[in-house]
Structure 1
C-alpha cells in the first residue's frame, strides 16, 4: 500500500532532522527503559523493606533511575527541538524553491496570503513531526512493555488488562478521525484569513482613502467564527477522549488490582509486585500520553497536506537546447490559451520579425499582456507553441531563455538590497559602468546619484515615486535584454518627456534587439515599425499605426469606452 502525499512529506521531513533524529531515538529509548524499569525497582525496594533485604542497594538504584529520567528528559527536549528546526528549515526551503519554480502559475492557483500561511505556519507544524514521530513510536513502547511486565508478574494480570483493550482501540480510532477533520479545517481557514490580510495590505492606500477601515477589518476577520468552530472541534475531541479514558482506565486499574490482591492473598505475588502492577497497569492504559502525541501528529499531517498540495503542482519544466545565432524572431503557432469564460487567445498565428520595434494594442481583456507573457514563457499556451529563432521555448534551457528575453512591467518590484542590485538583478553580472549606462538610458541615473550613497543606497530606505520606480525597472530590463526586450505597458507611470526619451533609446541604443511593447498610448504605437492589433481572441490587424488608424474600431482601442464612437482628428504626424 503506497503512502499518501502528506505521509510521504512527513517522513521526508523527519529524515531531514539528520543526526538529531538519531539522538532523539537514543534519548527516547533511555527514557522508555528507565520508565519501564522504575516500577519494578520500586517494588523490589518495598519487598526489601518488608523482608529486611538490601534496602540501601534498591533505594540507590531507584534514585539513579529518577535522576536518569530527569536528565535525559531535558536532553530529549533539546535534541527534539534541534531536529524540528532542521526539518522545518529544509521544508521551507523546498516549498519556497518550488513556489518560485511555479512562476506565475503559483499565484493563479493559490493566493499570496495563503502561500505565506503554508510557508510559515504549516511548514513549522509539519517540521514538528521530526521528533513527533519518534515520540509517538516510543509512546507506544511503555504501554506494550507494561503489558509484558504484567505478564511476567502474573499472567492473570495481563489477561485481565487485555480484556479491556478493544475499548481503548475504539477510543483511539474515533479520536484520530475527529481530530484530523478539525485540523484540516482549522489550517484551511487560517490560510483564508492570511490571504485576505495580504490583499488588504496591498490595497491599504485605497482602503484609507475610501475610509473603509472598519469594513475591511471585518472582511479580513470574518472567517474567525469558523476558526473558532474548528478549534473547538479539536478541543472537544480531546475532551471526549479524556472523559472516556477517565472512565475506562480506572475500571481497568481496579480490575487488575483486584486480581493482584487476590494473587497476594494466595501467595502468588509479593506486596512489592502489587505496587509494581499498580504502576504498570496505569502505564499500559496510559492513553493520555499517546493521545497527546497522536494529536500533534494529526495536526502535523493536516499541515503537511496543505504543503504537499503546493508541491504537487507541477513546476515549469525547461529543456536543454541552446539558441542558434539569430535576430530574435518570435513565432506564435496555433497558440490557444483558455480563460475562465473561454479562450483569451484562440489558434493565434503570428510572427514578430527579428530586431523590429513592435507595438501590441487592443482593448482591455484582448490578451495583450498574455501575449507578452507567452513571448518570454512566463506562461505556457494550452495549445500550440512559441518559438524564438526557430527553437520552441519549451526546449530551451532556463538560463538560455532568461539571458535572451528580458521584461519591463507596468508596476515593477525592485528586488535586491541596493539600487545597483535592483538594476543588475538577473542571470548576468553587469559591470558598474554598464549599470550606470542603462540607468542613464532609462533616465534613472540622475536621481540615483543624488541619493546619499548613490547606487549603494538601500532600496527599502528610499521612498520613490511611481515614475522613479518605473525607470529603475526599465534600467533593469535594459541591462538584462539579450535578443528580446518586452515592455508591458511601462509608459503608464511615465511623463510624456520621459516616454519620448525612452522611445529614443528603443530606436537607438537598443535597436539591435526585438522590442515588443504592450501599450495603450497611440503615441507609442505611432513610433513602432509594426503594430499588432488584438481583438476577439486573435490578430484583428497588423501594419503601421497610420495604416490601421483609418479603422474606427482600431481608434476605439485607444479611447475610453464612453467615447469610442467619437471621431478623432489626427495631424500629419498621426495620433498623439
Structure 2
C-alpha cells in the first residue's frame, strides 16, 4: 500500500469535514477490492428475493387449486423447494458477507496504522493518543456493514420493493395505487431523516475520541491526579465527554426510532387501506379472494424490505460518519512513500523493505571502516548549514540560522537554558522535523537526497521520556537490532548495571515490561542499552542521565567516552559531569548557537556558559564535579 504525500497540511490537529461524496468515495475505496464478492452477494441476495417474491404467487396457486378441488402436490412441493433453497442460499450469503465485513475492517485498520507509522512525527503528535486509538478501534467498526452488506441490502431491498410493486400491479392496479401512496410517504420521510443520523453519529464519535484522549492522559498521570486531590475535577471533565457522546447518540437513536416508526405506520396503514378497498372490490366481483390474499402477502412482505432499507440506510449513514473521520486521518501528511516501512501480516498483506541494506549503505560498520581508511578521523559526518525550523507555520522559529559541523568521531554536547533549541536540533537530525531553510548533510549527502529510513539507520536515539515499548524486556532491548547475540546482550546489560535487575524479574528477559515494573532510571538504562545494541554510527542522547544514580551515571559516562573514541555521540545534558569531558560543547540560547569550544575554553570566553556552571554551585576549578542538575 503506497502513501501519497499530496496531503492537506494540518495546523491545529483538525481537518475540514469531508463532503458526502468524499465519504462515499472512502467507503467505496474499502469495498472496491472485493467487488467480485459484492457482486456474488448481490446475485445471491436477488435469488433469495426472487424466491420471496414467488411465494405469494404460489400461495395464490394453492388457493386457486383448492377452489377447483385440484391436487395440492405441485404447489406444496414448490413452496417446500423455495423454503429449502432460500435457507441454503441465505446461509451462504450471510457467512460470505460476514467475512467481507471483517475484511473491510481489517483493511481500514491496516490503512490507518500504516498512516500513523508513516506520518510526519509532529503532525501525528498534534492529535492525542486516545483519539488516534479510537479512530482505529471504534470508527472502523462502523465500516463493518456500511461498506459491505448494507450496499447489497439497499440494492436488494429496492429491487424487492420494485418487484413487489410490479407484481401487485399485475394483481390489481387500483390496490397498487393505494399501497404506493404509503410507500412514497415513507421514502420522503427517510430522505429527510437519514442525513441527520450521519451528523449525530459523527459528533458522538468525536466526543468518544475526546474521551479516549483525555482518559489516556489521566491514567498516565494517575499519581499526579491522586496526589493533587484532583479526582473530582478529572471525573467531571471525563464525564462531560461521556455525556456529550451519550447526547449525540441518543439523538441518533431518536431519529432512527422515528424512521422505523414511520416505516411501520406506513406499512400498517397500507395494509388497512388495502383490506378496506380490496374487500369492496371482492364484494363487487372485481377481483378474486385469492388475488386479494396474494396482494396482502405482498403488502406484508414489503415490511421486510422497508425495514431492511431503514436499517441499511442507518448503517450507511453511520459508516459515512466514520468515513468522514477516517478521511481526516488520511489527510495527515506523511514523510514519504511507504517503501521504507516494513509491515508483515501472515494472513493478509505483506509490505517489505530492505532496511538492512539501507543501514549498510549509510552507516554499516564494514563500509565505515573503508571510508574511515580514506578520510581523516575528524572529517564531518553531520553538517548543518543555515538551518531554520519551526513546529508550525505561525509559530516562532525553534532554531534559526544554525551552522554546526559534527566530526566522525568524538563527543559533542549541547547545553543551554530550557527552550534554547537543543531537542529541536536532535529532531532535525532524526528528520522528525523538516527545516524551513538551510541544509543538513549526512556523510556529505544532503538529507533531501536520502530517505527518512536511510537517515535514521545511521542513528540510535535515546529519548528524554524513555518510553517503554509494549512487550518483554528482551523485546525492548532488541527493538532496534533483533539479531543481536546473547553475548552482546549480556555485555551491554553488565555495562549499564542491568544484570541484577533482569535476574530479579520473575521471568528474566522474558518478563513483561510496563511503566510500573521498572523505575524511571531503569527505563533510561534499558533505553540506552537498546541504543547500544543497535550499534549505531551516531548515538543521540537526550538527558540520558537525568534519572539515574551516581554509580550508574559514572558507568554511562564511561560508556559514552568509550563509544566516542570510534563513533559520534551527541548529547543533551544538564549535568556538568556528563559534558565536562566532551570534545566539543555547543552552547545554545534562543534557538541559536552562541558559542563552541571545550569546557575550559567556554569558561574563559562565554558568560552564558559560566552562568550555567555557576548555577551548579561548584568551584569551576574543582576536580570533583558533583552530579547536580542544571536549572
TM-score, shorter chain, exceeding 0.5: yes
Cα pair 2:62 2:75 within 8 Å, conserved: yes
Q: Does 1:294 align with 2:313?
A: yes
Q: Return closer, same or farther for 1:417/1:230 CA change in 2, 3 Å cut-off.
A: closer
Q: What residue in structure 2 maps to residue 426 of structure 1? A: 480
Deviation (angstroms), 1:299: 0.8
Q: Match for 2:362 among 316, 323, 334? A: 323
Q: What residue in structure 2 maps to residue 407 of structure 1? A: 461
Q: Return closer, same or farther for 1:246/1:446 CA change in 2, 3 Å cut-off.
A: closer
Point out 4+ residue stretches in structure 1 off by more than 6 angstroms: 318-321
Deviation (angstroms), 1:546: 2.8
Q: What residue in structure 2 maps to residue 150 of structure 1? A: 168
C-alpha separation in 1, matches of 2:391 and 2:607: 27
Deviation (angstroms), 1:57: 2.4
Q: Does 1:184 align with 2:202?
A: yes
Cα pair 2:183 2:266 within 8 Å, conserved: no
Q: What residue in structure 2 maps to residue 55 of structure 1? A: 72
Deviations 1:521-562 (A, max 9, x none): 122221211112221222122222333335443344568xxx
SS at match of 2:55: helix
Q: Match for 2:218 among 193, 200, 207? A: 200
Q: What residue in structure 2 maps to residue 486 of structure 1? A: 540
Deviation (angstroms), 1:67: 4.1
C-alpha separation in 2, matches of 1:556 and 1:427: 41
SS at match of 2:456: helix
Across the aligned residues of Structure 1 and Structure 2, the Cα RMSD in angstroms comes to 3.1
Q: Return closer, same or farther for 1:201/1:333 CA change in 2, 3 Å cut-off.
A: same
Q: Match for 2:238 among 220, 235, 238? A: 220
Q: Return closer, same or farther for 1:570/1:60 CA change in 2, 3 Å cut-off.
A: same
Q: What residue in structure 2 maps to residue 336 of structure 1? A: 388
C-alpha separation in 1, matches of 2:98 and 2:574: 56
C-alpha separation in 2, matches of 1:3 and 1:181: 11
SS at match of 1:511: coil
Deviation (angstroms), 1:101: 1.7
C-alpha separation in 2, matches of 1:111 and 1:462: 22
C-alpha separation in 2, matches of 1:101 and 1:430: 26
Greater displacement, 152-161 / 365-374:
152-161
Deviation (angstroms), 1:330: 1.5
Q: Match for 1:40 among 57, 63, 69? A: 57
Q: TM-score, normalised to structure 2's length? A: 0.82
1:378-417 residue pairs with structure 2 within 5 A?
A: 378-415=432-469, 417=471
Cα pair 1:532 1:542 within 8 Å, conserved: yes
Q: TM-score, normalised to structure 1's length? A: 0.89
Q: What residue in structure 2 maps to residue 465 of structure 1? A: 519
Q: What residue in structure 1 maps to residue 29 of structure 2? A: 12
Q: What residue in structure 1 maps to residue 296 of structure 2? A: 278
Q: What residue in structure 2 maps to residue 231 of structure 1? A: 249
SS at match of 2:248: helix
Q: What residue in structure 2 maps to residue 438 of structure 1? A: 492
C-alpha separation in 2, matches of 1:496 and 1:17: 61
Deviations 1:232-283 (A, max 9, x none): 2112212332343344444444555555456545655432222222232344
Q: Match for 1:345 among 393, 399, 419? A: 399
SS at match of 1:482: coil
Q: Return closer, same or farther for 1:531/1:79 CA change in 2, 3 Å cut-off.
A: same
Deviation (angstroms), 1:372: 0.9
Cα pair 2:481 2:533 within 8 Å, conserved: no
SS at match of 1:527: coil
Q: Match for 1:92 among 90, 97, 109? A: 109
Structure 2: gaps spanning 5 or more residues:
1-18, 341-357, 364-370, 373-378, 627-631
Q: Match for 2:609 among 550, 554, 565? A: 554
Q: Return closer, same or farther for 1:198/1:160 CA change in 2, 3 Å cut-off.
A: same
Deviation (angstroms), 1:295: 0.6
C-alpha separation in 2, matches of 1:541 and 1:510: 21
Cα pair 2:120 2:333 within 8 Å, conserved: no
**Aligned residue pairs: how many?**
570
Q: Return closer, same or farther for 1:479/1:394 CA change in 2, 3 Å cut-off.
A: farther
C-alpha separation in 2, matches of 1:558 and 1:251: 88
